[in-house]
Amino acid sequence: MKRRSKRFPGRRASDRKGAVAVLMMVMMFAILGVMAVTIDVTRLMSIRAELQTAVDAAALAGVVELMLGGGDEARDTAILYAGRNHAEKQPVVITNADVVFGVWDPDARTFTPLPGAAGADAMEVRATKTVNNWFAWALDVMNSGTAARAVAWASAPVGSTSECVKPWALPEELLDVNGDGDVDQWEVDQSVQTQREFTLKSATGGVADELDASTGIPSFFYPVVLPPFFLCTVTGPDGCLEGETQSVQGGANVYRDNIANCFGEVIGVQDSLLVEPGNMPGPTVQGARRFCPQVDGIRCLNEDGTQGVPMIATFWDSDVDPIGRASVEVARLGSFLLMEVYPQGQHGVIRGIFIEESTPGEITNVATTLVRPILVE
């Protein structure tokens, strides 16, 4: 007689439960690993984006200072602006070694470093940050790093645009918001952000209508002669002798026509402009009303009836008072909306809203009369 073997039906079920538990543990570790990596990678990408914002701002601010003849001060400006931005709620810290002067080749799209600011028209800024991982330590990755780089070019040519330079030069001190005697980039940015209105052609003979009355400049109402002039360093083919000033044609008719039309020659920072003595009330109003597509009372209107026609004016370095037939040095170019034009007593007045330092418009590969700083990498 055969003996039946005993069966233990619960054993197989128990084995299956054990296998499932092990599988679940393996899957949980895998899921936790993926989550850890995802969280830390996302955090790393966020920090890199913050670094990129910082180096972009630093490079642009630095190259603007470079355009203004700041030389090595442009490096300090870049470092300052990097620190005004934050990564993980901490100021972005860069050193002198992280800021490199150089030359940008727009055709080859290459940046060539230079040992200093001399001859530079571009700036490279780098920033790096070591990040302590929150969760990836589980995969034995305790630390990782991220970096960002930006290159700004000072001389991008601005192509077809309706903006054009007008024969007015404002004292740069009007941009000195905190009154410390220096114009910092943040003060310029603040004037842009607040859509600040400026007198482009004064009626007071100085800046007394916008600053302290004692700062008025007798006989200068902001008109200047276009184009720029220069002092001859050698005898030139046009007969300009060494030590003499290149002749430029001024007068009421030329001044009026330069308001009414777009001036088509190159004007840049550190150019010298002769002041136009006298308040020029008639030519100012006549020229501006010819420039405005429509005029409604004192308002300058576009073709579609909106107020504010784009144009460009210069800021002069106001360390020197231009009394009489003197000259001013261009410190900045500013884009404005020409808002109002009107006679005030024996004067002509122009009011405009400051919309941007430099010149808005499309960047082109062809050299033009206007340039502006841009990020190229």
Q: What is the pLDDT of residues 126-150, one digit of tens each?
A: 998 877 665 554 444 555 678 899 9
Of the candidates 258, 368, 276, 260, the one whose C-alpha atom is nearest the C-alpha of residue 316 is: 276
Q: What is the pLDDT of residue 195?
A: 86
Average confidence (pLDDT) over 57-65: 87
Higher pLDDT residue, 222 or 369? 222
Inter-CA distances, 212 with 169, 172, 208, 222, Å: 19, 15, 6, 17
Give the DSSP H/E element, type plus range, for residue 79: helix 73-83
Beta bridge partners of 107: none
Task: Identify the top-confidence range among 171-175, 240-244, 286-290.
Answer: 286-290
Average confidence (pLDDT) over 304-318: 87
pLDDT confidence tier of residue 374, bands split at 50, 70 and 90: confident
Q: What is the pLDDT of residue 19?
A: 63
The whole-angstrom separation of Cα 123 and Cα 254 is 39
Higher pLDDT residue, 26 or 112? 112
Contact 271, 263 (CB under 8 A): no
Strand 165-171 relative to strand 309-316: parallel, antiparallel, unpaired? Answer: parallel
pLDDT tens digits for 261-270?
Answer: 877 666 777 7
pLDDT confidence tier of residue 203, bands split at 50, 70 and 90: confident
**Residue 218 identity:** P
Lowest mean pLDDT among 87-101, 212-226, 261-275, 311-325: 212-226
Residue 38 corresponds to which tokens in the numbers above? Answer: 């995802």
Find tokens 């597509």 and name the residue.
293
Higher pLDDT residue, 208 or 52? 52
Indicate if the pLDDT at residue 84 is higher than 60: yes
Q: What is the pLDDT of residue 78?
A: 92
Residue 343 corresponds to which tokens in the numbers above? Answer: 């006679």
Helix then strand then coil, in percent of the chain rounded to 5, is 30, 30, 40
The whole-angstrom separation of Cα 96 and Cα 275 is 40
Residues with Cβ within 8 Å of residue 284, at least 6 apart in sequence: 201, 223, 255, 256, 259, 341, 348, 349, 350
Higher pLDDT residue, 345 or 374? 374
Contact 339, 352 (CB under 8 A): yes
Q: Could you tell me where the beta strands, DSSP code E, fall in the chain?
A: 86-87, 90-91, 99-105, 110-113, 122-132, 143-157, 165-171, 197-201, 272-274, 294-296, 299-301, 309-316, 327-344, 347-357, 371-375
pLDDT confidence tier of residue 48, bands split at 50, 70 and 90: confident
Strand 272-274 relative to strand 327-344: parallel, antiparallel, unpaired? Answer: antiparallel
